């Protein structure tokens, strides 16, 4: 009898090992907020596995911070801001944008402590996650409000550290994306929203990959993008189920995930506003004299993967990539 059980266990182990061996391993990376929900839902909902992928998700202080790991194929995909992609493409022009993932509708805010207005922040320290949508939002906000950037002291602070920094008094305010504004308002006394991005700027998060890796692993890359599109469908068609998956992955209260997700449009497409967001990032780098060379949109914008798996989501053409 023991021999029979042992044989059955061995067969089960062999079957499980065989099934796992058929999955292609990938490592991807992003930040820890619901704006990157397609990654989390594809993982928690089994959509990566359904498409033959064994995916490990690494998380960091922001999605933008993780884009740099695409250099030299340290990871196979990242999910971060429009600005982060352009910055890292200058370091390695193999880093390409493969899809417009999320349109940040009401996602960013300026939160201050013991102050009542943007004007009252003059001369004070503002926490900014440099090189991310946080910086784009802050600069654009001051431009729209006709306020002078030089009147404020920008301090480089990673998004997850902003709550603690404002509570300690290291900064007087910060400009950043959710969930940090909401969490700060819930946790730190005498804090309030001084401005939002609504009507000022709407950043876009893109999915990025390494062009060299794509060319060598085309079928796997297409399966990966297909899984993200299916995750996007689930998010838009069954928001309660998706919110539970996001809550589980991020270890975030379900109530918070449910409140935050409607502040983002989940797209997984290419459309004219996608290109405009990239151009806005390029213009910002030009103004800061940080752009090494004009951006070649035909090299940077990779339409082929989405065209292969969800052609109806590609609403721009190769001709649109000509500047």
Say how far apart CA 304 and CA 90 lie, in whole Å.
21
Sign of CA dihedral 266, 297, 91, 277: negative
Cβ burial of 314 (10 Å; 0-12, 13-18, 19+) is middle
Residue 4: is its pLDDT beyond 60? no
Can you give the pLDDT at residue 181? 95
pLDDT in tens, 146-189: 999 999 999 999 999 999 999 999 999 999 999 999 999 999 99
Can you give the pLDDT at residue 133? 83
Cβ burial of 308 (10 Å; 0-12, 13-18, 19+) is middle
Mean pLDDT over 297-317 rounds to 97
Among 9-13, 89-93, 142-146, 154-158, which is the least confidently predicted range?
9-13
Can you give the pLDDT at residue 5? 43
Give the residue ranges of DSSP H helices in the chain: 2-21, 37-44, 47-50, 63-67, 82-91, 133-144, 162-168, 180-187, 211-216, 218-237, 239-250, 254-260, 272-287, 297-300, 304-309
* Residues 1-37: b if buried by 16+ CB within 10 A, e if exposed: eeeeeeeeeeeeeeeeeeeeeeebebebbbbbbbbbb
Residues in Cβ contact with 80 at an 8 Å cutoff, skipping those fewer than 6 apart: 30, 31, 62, 63, 64, 65, 66, 67, 132, 205, 206, 208
Residue 312: is its pLDDT beyond 90? yes
Mean pLDDT over 36-47 rounds to 98
Residue 18: is its pLDDT beyond 60? no
pLDDT in tens, 170-182: 999 999 999 999 9
Among 8-12, 25-29, 210-214, 224-228, which is the least confidently predicted range?
8-12
Tell how strand 204-210 and strand 95-104 pair up. antiparallel
pLDDT in tens, 90-141: 999 999 999 999 998 878 999 999 999 999 999 999 999 998 889 989 999 9
Q: Are 136 and 170 in contact (CB under 8 A)?
A: no
Q: Token pair 């880093």 is at which residue?
A: 95
**323 pLDDT band (50/70/90 cuts)?**
low
Percent of the chain with pLDDT over 70: 93
Average pLDDT along the chain: 92
Residue 26: is its pLDDT beyond 70? yes
Q: Give the chain's domains with CATH numbers.
A: 23-104+203-321 (3.40.190.10), 108-196 (3.40.190.10)
Residue 252: is its pLDDT beyond 60? yes
Q: Are 116 and 98 in contact (CB under 8 A)?
A: no
Where is pLDDT greater, at 10 or 166?
166
Q: Please give the full DSSP string across 133-202, using - where no structure is assigned.
A: HHHHHHHHHHHHTT--GGGSEEEE--GGGHHHHHHHTS-SEEEEETTHHHHHHHHSTTEEEEEESTTT--
Say how far apart CA 247 and CA 244 lie, in whole Å.
5
Say how far apart CA 161 and CA 19 lie, in whole Å.
41
Can you give the pLDDT at residue 105? 83
pTM, 2 dp: 0.81
Can you give the pLDDT at residue 198? 83
CA distances from 286 to 63, 67, 147, 274 (A): 23, 20, 20, 19
Cβ burial of 162 (10 Å; 0-12, 13-18, 19+) is buried
Mean pLDDT over 289-303 rounds to 94
Can you give the pLDDT at residue 14? 43
Percent of the chain with pLDDT over 90: 83
């Amino acid at each position: 009898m023991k021999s029979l059980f042992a044989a059955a266990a061995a067969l089960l182990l062999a079957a499980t090992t065989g099934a796992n061996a058929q999955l292609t391993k990938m490592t991807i990376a992003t930040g820890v907020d619901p704006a990157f929900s397609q990654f989390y839902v594809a993982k928690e909902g089994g959509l990566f596995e359904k498409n033959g992928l064994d995916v490990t998700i690494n998380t960091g202080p922001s999605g933008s911070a993780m884009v740099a790991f695409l250099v030299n194929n340290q990871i196979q995909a990242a999910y971060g801001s429009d600005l982060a992609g352009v910055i890292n493409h200058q370091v390695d022009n193999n880093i390409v944008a493969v899809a417009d993932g999320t349109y940040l509708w009401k996602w960013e805010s300026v939160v201050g402590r013991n102050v009542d207005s943007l004007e009252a922040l003059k001369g004070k320290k503002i926490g900014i996650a440099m090189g991310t949508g946080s910086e784009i939002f802050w600069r654009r906000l001051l431009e729209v409000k006709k306020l002078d950037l030089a009147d404020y002291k920008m301090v480089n602070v990673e998004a997850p550290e902003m709550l603690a920094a404002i509570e300690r008094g290291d900064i007087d305010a910060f400009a950043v994306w959710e969930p940090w504004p909401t969490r700060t308002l819930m946790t730190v006394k005498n804090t309030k929203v001084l401005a939002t991005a609504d009507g000022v700027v709407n950043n876009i998060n893109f999915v990025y990959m390494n062009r060299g890796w794509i060319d060598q692993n085309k079928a796997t890359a297409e399966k990966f993008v297909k899984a993200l599109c299916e995750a996007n469908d689930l998010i838009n068609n069954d928001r309660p189920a998706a919110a539970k998956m996001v809550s589980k992955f991020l270890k975030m209260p379900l109530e918070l995930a449910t409140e935050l997700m409607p502040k983002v449009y989940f797209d997984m497409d290419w459309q004219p506003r996608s290109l405009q967001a990239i151009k806005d990032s390029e213009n910002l780098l030009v103004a800061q004299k940080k752009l090494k060379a004009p951006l070649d949109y035909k090299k940077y914008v990779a339409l082929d993967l989405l065209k292969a798996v969800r052609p109806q989501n590609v609403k721009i053409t190769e001709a649109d990539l000509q500047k």
